[in-house]
Structure 1
Amino acid sequence: MIDEILQKQLSTALSEHLKVKIHINDAKSVHGGDINESFRIGTNEGYFFIKMNDAGKYPDMFKQEYAGLLELQAAKALQTPKPLAYGSVNGRAYLLQEFLTKGQAVADFWDDFAVSLAKQHRVTQPHYGYAGTNYVGSLKQYNTPYSSWPVFYAFNRLLPLIRMAYDQQLVDRQLVQQVERLCRQLPQIFPVEAPALLHGDLWSGNFMVGSNGRACVFDPAVYYGHREIDLAMARLFGGFDTRFYYAYQAAYPLQPGWQQRIGICQLYPLMVHFILFGGNYYNSMKEVLQSY
């Protein structure tokens, strides 16, 4: 629950942001994922959404998510909830943001979603990476800048996670060596592309139909990377209509061979899920790596 001290701090943060005195009237628990408590808070100025977790375990998680949401908003492509404030009180970190109201999908929902994502992916910067370490789930996501996508993907994504899995005795040395062999081959696998602004965790649980009938994305793990990563993640757990992929391809065609790169792009989220949840993700990882 939201205690009295936190309630006062949230009221102050909202008041400063909205330039009007805010009173919190109630807080209703809503689904917030595996590590966060989430609430819809009712105020004299309407509803807002707040996520909270252990500030000791994840000291800068919400600071980075706040920055990521601003980065996505600046692209003026996909709709996201507006971040309002972040901070901590009594050992609990919080992120305060706009409360999203669900709507009914418009007829061209999937086409519009894809075109908007393609527009976001055209936002670029000189290097792959991002300003500082952020999170994917509860795992730190390293974003040291590199001019090469294969180098970035190897040293910031695949190698740190497979070594973490090995240190936790979740995998054997043979699997580590397979990942290392794959990393040496990445320059021959990926075509050169400009860094794209990625959502970073684009699965069906991280978007909804907004009040305007269009897609709204949230819970990002933002960085500038290869755009096939977002699309491979969307395919990994389903929930995206086939029209989405056709419309994206029409709006911003992928380079030849993208079908053969899907598994390699999915390897990173598979590693994340294996470390966090175990289970059959191990077999999925081995299936991707069997040719390397």
Structure 2
Amino acid sequence: MESWTKTDFPHPDAALAEAEGLRWLAAADGGARVAQVRHAGPGVLELERVRDGSRSAEHARTFGAALARTHAAGAPSFGFVPGQATGFMAGAPMPGSDAATWGEFYASARVMPFLRRAEASGAFGARDVEVICAVVERLAAGELDHPQPALVGEVARLHGDLWSGNVLWSPTGVVLIDATAHGGHAETDLAMLDLFGAPHLAEILAGYQEVSPLADGWQDRVALHQLNPLLVHTVLFGGGYAQAAVAAASRYR
């Protein structure tokens, strides 16, 4: 089988972390298909080459069901990263966490670190920071906690960067690449699919719900779960992502 080699990493250990994450996702029984890791070393990751295929509604629905099983495979804790390497996000080591709840984890390890980086770059004014910090306070207090999908226990096994560009459509179905795998809330992966317009999103969600129904009110929490990726993109690219992050946060303050 053909392979391709990725060398564009912010740190040599990021290649090892991504490889461990892909293997962890692939270990989920009946879960979403993940590009096979052929070799991993510092700064180098060799994966199977995924051939292009049609973006069919049938494949989308099958992928949704498989993703539900990946999430249900679980993780030991919020913020858990598989393997020995540190996870990476937005070009920097991923913040660890010993949080007991999702809200505490999301506030301390996914919102605040990237808010502070974006603020330091000048992307946010004082009023913007105030809005997002108000949401952080509610998250940390547990006011915005909500149940996982039906088959997930306390913590879901997440891809962690599930935007449409990391969802490859092969002739036999969807294959995932470029994971930032960790333990978190399943709705985060689904919100990321929504944020950047995954093809056949309605079918993906339908397949997911057939296997593991989402908790009531999930539609109203999509923007909450998009707050982290919007902050990450503010750090990386600036522009309109900063105001999109503030608009998302405003719904929950």
TM exceeding 0.5:
yes
Quick check: 189-198 or 273-282, which moved more? Answer: 189-198
In the alignment, structure 1 residue 276 sits paired with structure 2 residue 236: yes
* 8 Å Cα contact 2:39/2:47 also seen in 1: yes
Helix, strand or coil: the match of 2:51?
A: coil
In the alignment, structure 1 residue 49 sits paired with structure 2 residue 4: yes
In the alignment, structure 1 residue 249 sits paired with structure 2 residue 209: yes
Quick check: 58-67 or 162-171, which moved more? Answer: 162-171
Query: 2: distance between equivalents of 1:180 and 1:261?
Result: 17
In the alignment, structure 1 residue 79 sits paired with structure 2 residue 29: no
Helix, strand or coil: the match of 2:224?
A: helix
Query: 1: distance between equivalents of 2:128 and 2:56?
Result: 45
| 1:106 to partner: Cα distance | 6.1
In the alignment, structure 1 residue 103 sits paired with structure 2 residue 53: yes
Q: Say which structure is richer in strand.
A: 1
**Structure 1 residues 22-33: aligned runs within 5 Å:** none
Helix, strand or coil: the match of 1:185?
A: helix
* 8 Å Cα contact 2:76/2:183 also seen in 1: no
In the alignment, structure 1 residue 209 sits paired with structure 2 residue 169: yes
* 8 Å Cα contact 1:139/1:272 also seen in 2: no
Helix, strand or coil: the match of 2:222?
A: helix
Number of residue-to-residue matches in the alignment: 240
Query: Aligned letter for 2:182?
Result: Y
Query: Aligned letter for 1:133?
Result: T
Match of 1:19 in 2: none
* 8 Å Cα contact 2:107/2:136 also seen in 1: yes
For residues 181 and 106 of structure 1, do their structure 2 counterparts lie closer, same or farther at Cα, with a shift above 3 Å needed?
closer
In the alignment, structure 1 residue 172 sits paired with structure 2 residue 130: no
* 8 Å Cα contact 1:51/1:96 also seen in 2: yes
Unaligned ranges ≥5, structure 2: 149-153
Quick check: 96-105 or 118-127, which moved more? Answer: 96-105
Match of 1:267 in 2: 227
| Counterpart selection for 1:121 from 71, 75, 83 | 71
| Counterpart selection for 2:88 from 126, 132, 135 | 135
Deviations 1:138-161 (A, max 9, x none): 243223232210010011100001
Whose Rg is larger? 1
Match of 2:151 in 1: none
Helix, strand or coil: the match of 1:259?
A: helix
| Counterpart selection for 1:197 from 152, 157, 161 | 157
Query: 2: distance between equivalents of 1:137 and 1:169?
Result: 17
* 8 Å Cα contact 1:126/1:147 also seen in 2: no
For residues 105 and 237 of structure 1, do their structure 2 counterparts lie closer, same or farther at Cα, with a shift above 3 Å needed?
closer
Query: 1: distance between equivalents of 2:188 and 2:96?
Result: 15
Unaligned ranges ≥5, structure 1: 1-45
| Counterpart selection for 2:62 from 112, 115, 120 | 112
Structure of greater relative contact order (alpha carbons < 8 Å, 6+ residues apart): 2
Query: 1: distance between equivalents of 2:62 and 2:95?
Result: 31
**Cα RMSD after superposing both structures:** 1.8
| 1:259 to partner: Cα distance | 1.4
Q: Give me the TM-score of the superposition, normalised by structure 1.
A: 0.77
Q: Give me the TM-score of the superposition, normalised by structure 2.
A: 0.88
| 1:252 to partner: Cα distance | 1.1
* 8 Å Cα contact 2:78/2:101 also seen in 1: yes
Query: 1: distance between equivalents of 2:169 and 2:12?
Result: 31
In the alignment, structure 1 residue 237 sits paired with structure 2 residue 192: no
Query: 2: distance between equivalents of 1:171 and 1:147?
Result: 30
* 8 Å Cα contact 1:189/1:261 also seen in 2: no
In the alignment, structure 1 residue 159 sits paired with structure 2 residue 112: yes
Helix, strand or coil: the match of 1:188?
A: coil
* 8 Å Cα contact 1:143/1:223 also seen in 2: no
Query: Aligned letter for 1:128?
Result: F
| 1:178 to partner: Cα distance | 1.9
